Chain A
Amino acid sequence: MAYAELCALSNFTFLRGASHPHELVEQAHHWGYQALALTDECSLAGVVRAHLCARELGLQLIIGSQFKLDNGCHLVALVTDRQAYAELSGLITLARRRSPKGQYQLRMEDLRFRLKRCLVIWLPDGKADAWEELVLELKRSFADRLWLGISRQFAAAESEHWRNLERLSREHQLRRVACGQVEMHCRKRKAMHDVLAAIRLGRPVQQLGKQLAANAEACLRPLHELAQIYPDELLAETLVLAGQCRFNLDELRYEYPAELVPSGMKAIDYLRQLAEQGSRQRWPGGMPQRIRAALEKEFVLIEELGYEYFFLTVHDLVRYARSCDILCQGRGSAANSILCYCLHITEVSPEQINMLFERFISRERNEPPDIDVDFESQRREEVIQYIYRKYSRKRAALAATVISYRTRSAVRDVGKALGISLEQVEQLAKSLAWWDRKRDLEQRAEQIFAAIEPHLLQHFLRLVMEIQGFPRHLSQHVGGFVIARDQVSDLVPVENAAMPERTIIQWDKDDLETLGLLKVDVLSLGMLSALRRTLALVQGYDARLQSMADVPREDPQVYAMLSRGDSIGVFQVESRAQMSMLPRLQPRCFYDLVIEIAIVRPGPIQGDMVVPYLKRRSGQEDREPPSAALKEVLQKTLGVPIFQEQVIRVAMVAAGFSGGEADQLRRAMATFGKRGDLQGFEEKFIRGMLKNGYSLDYANQLFDQIKGFGGYGFPESHSASFALLCYLSSWFKCHHPAAFYCGLLNSQPMGFYSPSQLVQDARRHGVQVLPVDVLRSDWESTLEGANPPALRLGLCRVAQLSEAVGRRIATVRNQCPFSSPRDLARRAAVPRDQLQALAAADALASISGHRYQSHWDVAGIEPTRPLLADAGEPRADLVQLAEPSLAQNIAADYTSTGLSLRPHPLALLRNQQPFARCKPQSELKGLSNGRYVQVAGLVTGRQRPGTAKGTIFLTLEDETGNINVVVWKRTQDHFREALLRAQLLLVKGRLETDGRVIHVIAGALQDYSDRLQGFEIRSRDFH
């Protein structure tokens, strides 16, 4: 007996399907089904995942979808061939595009006119009287492509329903086919199915009664069970339909937009022409022969695989951005090429780094090339609009990101679905720190849900784990565009995103990659914005610097600064981990930065590559690679593999892998732990190395390093692109600090540090920072004076102030300065709430006296009456209020601008206990290693890197600098609350220092946040 399931929905029918697509495929394969149709409701979002699994298992996957029409009719459409696929994709697009996100709308006419090739199964429900009318319409629309779907799920009154269907089929000569109407892959998912219904309906399972499924029969059932409940002919009919559905997703081919090539020219020739033009700019003296040969190799591969249009598309975007003076930079594996350097997609020259051809595009992999282009964050939208203009919305759409359940959302939704009180659910959800693991969840749930019956708690925990990873809805990808020659919707359905005027496709980037479809990543990078602004500011007082190219290279002062760990605000090396690595690594040239960026990554850290590299660099260890071939690969990184390319090369030269195989090894490492297909590679790798004469020990050691490296390492080109921005930002920080910090502040939000931390750092570097002032500030922060310039904070720092008002104030003031708050309100038409925002930020001090007086003055301004507009100033107020205290001003500064230029709060608390006993950051340098210390500061950062085995790193800020605190796991458990919530923290612990890098290893944490409030409240409230 054979069977094909023709109606199954996955969890991509959100909050209804209770199984992942791959689970359905695996189960169907396990039961020996001939085929499985994935028919999510008005969606193809899950088909690629199902396809991937079906391809591996060799199961026939039928693409389809099911719909509830506006007349209540329930239909399943199955794809027969490529054209039918385009029909279905187009129909889903139509139904989705006319409804808000997450909904759809379809009428019978839509199907009649658009589905000309798909097979249609009708699943009649409700009362039989209503069928008569429908059946005629359906027969007219689909003729011999129509079947009557018969389901057996042991429901109440099912036999009557069957008899009615039999009669219907007899009277109208409709063919019948067995149809499982599957919503889960096995019966065990019934609880999950019920919980999803509860989430969808917004009521706990206990109250849903018959709104839940009566049983778990909507699952994939073994063939012998099916044989018992369906007549043979109904089962046999499933194979008839499956036989007609021959479409396979692998048939989808991307068709590139054709207009990029001048007519009459071949794409490859045009690409060659562009590359030639570019190369003349790159090498005015002529391209070196070695590089020309490599470029030729790239062209051959591009032409062979047909990727000319991809490079042309990316080139077009980059060309547009450059023409509008938008900074951009490419990265990604395919950007690692001479071609991209010639096309100005990347700025790192092939002479600076090793470009590995195998990493460029691989023949074996049959995958589209990967180039991400970063644009200035504040101007990326212009590039996106260019894409829409050039290709239209029909031809360009954003890739989706599948938003899935994570621990907190799972706790909330499952808790509510099980009828647990909202307060308890919220309490549990909030008590979970982002670093908690499964065991922590269990412990916390047991504590908080103490009154809940143990077996319900067990269900809760199991369901919370099970629902994690279930897709919840589709959102837009950060910038991955799919651009098609004709219509995107022929390829994949398009639907509305939550953002108005945005459309997304139903597949995410992994789906696109699986099918080998091309996407262009238009990403945003705050640092590019910051650099452009910084350059413009510097040009304001130093005409010598016309472009980034004028920045002097290899400046020793820059490397000296970085070697001190002085890198706040600098691209890529400003994190705590990077800051403590810099003094150890002591970068002295550009390539050191490339290494610095790549080495502080989970891959090299887990692969135990950091310590050996540092030891060899400082001359404490000297180990030559055991062969000349390996030496050549690893020489630049002192025998330690740090970049992805090196892993590939090592596999090639030492273990005899082909280029493609080595790249497959890299990809297997990326998914290591998720799938576990690394073992085959390990044997081959070790065998290969032994064959080439290496010792077993060395082979094992090298493979372990590679395994630990996983997918979390940078390719060299990527690191080099970042190193370039790192160098540029360091140079500006070193030589033009005021312009640098000003550029950073104007490009917020970005980077690792808050504006307050940046301002503190700027002042520690001697930059004079001036407060927000309506008589001086523009909307953005600006520079004032020269030699050296001071940094004037912009009106944009004022909380609640709108940009339009801020810009208007600057424009009007430049015509004539304001004489009073009333003058400001009148001339710049500033409404009352905006005046209050300015007063709160102390931006009116220069025309009002002080913050309190500003508030008083602003409150007294009445709305202008047109007739009296020119009646002049009313009499001056006689009321003069007292000035705020320093502490009051500091507290108000933080509330209204997020930073304060007055003394640090710690400076005010320093002479009080227990802070008087604490060492300020500036004094830590003089202390010896291992000494007991107490430190205190505002908690400005909490970090728990995945590589640090549960350790949490805190950054405390006091009036002299930032203190790094290390909190081991055991200390965390003891002081969980303080760790999670404290704003002002006192840490008692041991100092760990090697003279360059200083850490405090926490022994005890105390939360003194109330002292911060105390200092607000004590001055404000008198009980």
Chain B
Amino acid sequence: MLWLALRFTALPDDPDEKTELLKYLASWAYNYTPYIKRYADDSLLLEISRCLQLFGGVESLGQRLQASLDGLVSHYRLGLAHTDKAAWLLSFQSHPLSDADSQDVFSARLQQVPLDKLIEQPRAVAQLQQMGLRRLGDIWHLPPSELGRRFGTSFVDYLVQIQGGAQAPPETYQSREHFCRQIAFASPLDNRSQLELPARQLLQQLIDYLLAGQLQCQEICWRLYSAQGAQQEIPIACSRVHHRWDLLFELTRVRLERVELRFEVDRLELECRQVAAVELGNASLFPQAAAGRREEAETLVARLQARLGRRAIYQIHLQTEHLPELGQSLELPFTPMPSVEPAQGARPCWLLTRPQPVREQRGRLFWHGPLQLVRGPERIQGYWWNQATTRDYFVARRDDALHCWIYQNLSDRHWYAHGIFA
């Protein structure tokens, strides 16, 4: 066997981004070999002995790989050896890939590897360093029984794995769960309605894929390509679709209606990246009203979002804040509600979007008519970290018996109406 280690030295710090990038790189490496392993959080190990013939030897494969990889990531190191772990260790040295390298060459190079690179056995390494042993070559020839006695058999096994004792056959790479299909047209389409039929075909294929894998999707993305390579993307959010191709089709149609085609479409692509295992519940013998309503609501919201835009539909949440205008917030539909106790004291059911000035004349207050204070004050003072606020709230009665909620801003003594009681 011959292993090539790709150690990426400038991966993103964010663990999720890092995982995504490594997954992507693994799918890229799949173009060269099906035997791919992730290792040490930052590396891919490729078994390449079986594809050397195809690519014309180590050097030629290396050149192709590097040419392609240079466009994908900025910093990486390569290591070549007869075992996977040895290849990874040698990625810390700089040797050009060569067809002439043999196991003896690799072994000689391994002798120079500093012990702290043996990341699978940090405790043993720390102890060995205390004994003045610094490199793999320093312990290579120590009796395995003595090493085993001191650092355990797992350490000796690890050394054997590096050196190339018994090696398990490499595992084949499992591609990620991800749907992406295209339809190319015989002649370019210039009309949106012509896209419907191919879109329908692709959606049916997606639903087949989802059903087969017991998956559901949360977002799909249409991509239109021109013959010249121009590209237009149309993402569509949907909520946990498992089998309703018709819903996806409807959402697609609604979106397409609102899209200007920027070019004649040569190819149509449907991609669905975000898939998750479907939550399949047991069907009830008698249909349950609540569950049905939730699904209906989700469908309705998805339709409205497709028509009005994702950020146009909101749900109102209560917040525990003293300041009335901060007492509620707009959240995306179906986000879980926090449990908030309703405010004590008088609170109007209609809060004005902006407080409106109340006129003060000869000691009397007017807001579309004279006002009389009937309750109060309730004082709210704080929010100094943002904009210091001090207000005295009162319930006031207007001549037409309307009760409104007014406040006096104590910093400038001006009065404002802030809400209306039913």
Contact = CB atoms under 8 A, between A and B. Distances in A.
Interface of A: 153-159, 187, 190-191, 194, 205-206, 209-217, 418-419, 456, 459, 836, 839-840, 851-853, 855-856, 859-860, 862, 877-879, 881-884, 888, 1020-1023
B134 A1021 contact: yes
Contact of A1020 (B92, B134, B320, B344): B134
Contact of A856 (B131, B319, B375, B385): B131
B380 A215 contact: yes
Contact of A881 (B131, B150, B380): B131
Contact of B322 (A209, A419, A459, A1023): A209
A941 B382 CA distance: 48
Contact of A212 (B135, B378, B379, B382): B382
Contacts of A210: 320-322
Closest A-B pairs by Cβ, 5 of them: A156-B345, A154-B379, A852-B132, A209-B320, A215-B381
B76 interface: no
B321 to A, nearest CB: 5
A154 B132 contact: no
12 contacts: A156-B378, A194-B384, A209-B322, A210-B321, A214-B322, A215-B382, A456-B385, A839-B130, A855-B127, A860-B150, A881-B131, A1022-B135
A507 to B, nearest CB: 35
A234 B151 CA distance: 80
B140 to A, nearest CB: 13
B146 interface: yes
Interface in B121-158: 127, 129-135, 142-143, 146, 149-151
Contacts of A884: 132
B284 to A, nearest CB: 41
Contacts of B378: 154-156, 158, 214
B125 to A, nearest CB: 12
B116 interface: yes
B149 A855 contact: no
A224 B82 CA distance: 91
A958 to B, nearest CB: 28
A860 B146 CA distance: 7
A159 B384 CA distance: 27
B112 interface: yes
Contacts of B390: 215
Contact of A879 (B92, B130, B143): B143
Contacts of A158: 345, 378
B269 interface: no
A800 B379 CA distance: 61
Interface in B306-327: 319-322
Contacts of B116: 1021
Given A210-B320, A459-B385, 15 more contacts: A155-B345, A156-B344, A157-B346, A190-B382, A191-B384, A209-B322, A214-B380, A214-B382, A216-B382, A836-B127, A855-B130, A879-B143, A888-B132, A1022-B112, A1022-B114
Contacts of A881: 131-133
A862 B319 CA distance: 63
B392 A459 contact: no
A1022 B135 CA distance: 8
B385 A879 contact: no
B12 interface: no
Nearest to B150: A859
B377 interface: yes
B131 A852 contact: yes
A217 B377 CA distance: 12
Contact of B114 (A206, A215, A852, A1023): A1023
Interface in B371-389: 375, 377-382, 384-386
B277 interface: no
Given A154-B377, A210-B322, A215-B379, A1021 B143 contact: no
A913 to B, nearest CB: 26
B343 interface: yes
Categorize the interface residue count of chain B: 35 or more
B155 to A, nearest CB: 11
A877 B378 CA distance: 86
Contact of A459 (B112, B131, B384): B384
A1016 B130 CA distance: 12
A158 B344 CA distance: 9
A212 B322 contact: yes
Nearest to B146: A879
Nearest to A217: B379
Given A156-B345, A855-B127, A209 B321 contact: yes
B385 A855 contact: no
B373 to A, nearest CB: 13
A206 B320 CA distance: 11
B222 to A, nearest CB: 39
A434 to B, nearest CB: 29
A878 B143 CA distance: 9
Interface string B176-190: 000000000000000
Contacts of A862: 149
A206 B385 contact: yes
B129 A860 contact: no
Contacts of B392: 154
A853 B133 CA distance: 11
Contacts of B321: 209-210
Interface in B353-387: 375, 377-382, 384-386
Interface string B108-121: 00001010100000
Contacts of A888: 132
A216 B390 CA distance: 9
A855 B134 contact: no
A879 B141 CA distance: 10
Contacts of B151: 859
> Which residue among A154, A851, A862, A878 has the maximum number of chain B CB atoms within 10 Å of its CB?
A154
B142 A860 contact: no
Contacts of B114: 1021-1023
Contacts of B134: 1020-1022
Contact of B385 (A156, A187, A418, A860): A418
A436 to B, nearest CB: 25
A298 B127 CA distance: 68
Contacts of B92: 1023
A836 B322 CA distance: 61
A784 B366 CA distance: 100
A459 B92 CA distance: 50
Contacts of A419: 385
Contacts of A212: 322, 382
Contacts of A851: 132
A878 B142 CA distance: 10
Nearest to B384: A191
B381 A216 contact: yes
Interface in B294-339: 319-322
B132 A214 contact: no
Contacts of B375: 159
A851 B133 CA distance: 12
B195 to A, nearest CB: 46
Contact of B345 (A157, A853, A878, A879): A157
B306 to A, nearest CB: 35
Contacts of B377: 154
Contacts of A191: 384-385
B406 to A, nearest CB: 15
A418 B383 CA distance: 11
Contacts of A840: 130
A209 B384 contact: no
B131 A855 contact: yes
Contact of A205 (B132, B133, B385): B385
A156 to B, nearest CB: 3
A584 to B, nearest CB: 49
B146 A877 contact: yes
Given A154-B377, A215-B380, A1022-B114, A882 B322 contact: no
Given A155-B378, A888-B132, A1022-B112, A190 B319 contact: no
B379 A214 contact: yes
